Structure 1
Amino acid sequence: MKKFVLLASIITTCIITQSCSQKKENANKNLRDYCTIIFESNRKKICVTDDFSSLDEWIKEKDGKYKQVQKKLNFTKNERDSLAKYAYRIINQPTLATKMMTCGAGENITIEISYCTTSILCKYSSIESWSSLSNDNKKLYEILNAKTAIPK
C-alpha cells in the first residue's frame, strides 16, 4: 500500500511539473515569436521588430499623419527582449486606470504586439499617467524613454 501511495505521488508530481513547464514554454514562445512591438501615443509611434530591420520612430503631425523621424532607435537584444516581456505582460494582465481625464485630455496609449498574422494590444484612453499604473508599465516606459522622449 505504501509503495502504491509513493508511486501515485511521484506520478502526480511529474504531471504537475510537466504541466507548469509547458505553460512557461508557451509564454516564452509568445515572447520570442513576435514580429513587431508598437507603442503609440497621441504624438508619437515607435515600432520595434525582432530582427533589427526596423527600429523606427514617427511623430504625429497636426493633420493626423505620421512623419518618420530620421533618428534610428538602437535597442540591444536584451532591451528588445525586455520590451517584449513587459508589453506582453501589460497586454495579458492590464492594470485598470482609476484616474481618467475628461474631454479628451490626457494621453491615449496603445501597446501592441504583432505576430505577423495576429496582433494583441492594450489601449489606455484619456488617462493621466500610463507609466505609473504598474511596475511593468514603469519598466516599459523607462526603456522607451531612455531612447526617445515619450509621454508619461
Structure 2
Amino acid sequence: MKENNLDLKSIYVVIISLLLFISCSKKQEPLLTDQYKKWETLEIKTRFQTLTISKFSDSADYYNMINSNKEFKIIPESTPEKTDPEQPEHKIIFFTKAEKDSLSKYIYESVTQPKFTNVLATDYAGGVILRFDRENMNLTCEYNSVGDWTTVSENTEKIYNLISKKVEISKQ
C-alpha cells in the first residue's frame, strides 16, 4: 500500500513538472498592436501629389505637380538653362493628433499586411506609394497600375477619405 501511495506521488510530481516545463518553455510574443503608434514620418505619394506628415510637427507638407498643358513635357538635355520646369504647388496642411494616429494605423496596416489585387489598369493608371518611417527603418507599400487605388483595401479607402477632406488628391 505504501509503495502504491509513493508511485501516485511520483506520478503527480512528474505531471506537475511536465506542465510547468511546457507552460514555461513557450516564449511570450510581443504585442504588435501598438506598433503603428511608433512612427516619425508618414508619406502618401500619387502620380502628381506628395503628402509628408511628421509626427513632431503640427503641419504636413503637400506638393501637387501642376501641368497646365495636361501633357508631359520632354525636357531636352542639351539646353537645361532654357527650360522652365513647372514648380509644384506647395501647401501646408494641418492634421489633428487623432487624424495623424488614424493615418499611421491605416498606413502601418497597409505596409505590413498588403492586399493583393488582380486589377491591372492600362497605361499605368492608378498608383500610390505608402511609406511608414520609424527611427532607423521604413516600410513601404507600392501599388502600380491598379486604376482607382482607393479600392485596393479598406485601409486605402480610409486613407483617401481622410486626406481628401483636407486637400485634393488623385485616385489614379
Q: Same fold (TM over 0.5)?
A: yes
Alpha-carbon displacement from aligned partner over 1:22-81 (angstroms, at most 9, x marks no partner): 1x25x52x4233221000111211111111254121111334753312xx3221111111
Normalised by the length of structure 2, the TM-score is 0.69
Equivalent pairs counted in the alignment come to 144
Match of 1:31 in 2: 36
Q: 1:142 aligns with which of 158, 161, 164?
A: 161
- Kindly indicate whether the alpha-carbon contact (under 8 Å) linking 1:39 and 1:112 is maintained by their aligned counterparts in 2: yes
RMSD: 2.5
Identity level (%): 19
What is the rounded CA distance, in whole Å, between the counterparts of 1:6 and 1:134 in structure 2?
A: 48
Unaligned runs of 5+ residues in structure 1 are none
Deviations 1:62-114 (A, max 9, x none): 34753312xx322111111111111011111111221111123x222111112
Alignment match, 2:126? 107
Find the counterpart in structure 2 of residue 120 from structure 1: 139
- Give the equivalent residue in structure 1 for 2:80: none
The equivalent position to 2:28 in structure 1, one of 19, 22, 28, is 19
After TM superposition, the structure 1 stretch with the greater mean CA deviation from structure 2, 37-46 or 72-81, is 72-81
Q: 2:18, 2:87 → 1: CA distance?
A: 63
Is the CA contact 1:47–1:54 (under 8 Å) kept in the aligned structure 2? no
In the alignment, what sits opposite 1:78? 98
Distance 2:138 2:24 in 1: 34
For structure 2, the 5+ residue unaligned runs are 1-10, 68-84
Partner of 1:67: 89
1:119 is displaced (CA, Å) by: 2.0
Q: Between Structure 1 and Structure 2, whose CA radius of gyration is higher?
A: 2
In structure 2, C-alpha distance between the alignment counterparts of 1:15 and 1:68, rounded to whole Å: 56
Considering fraction of residues, name the structure with more helix. Answer: 1
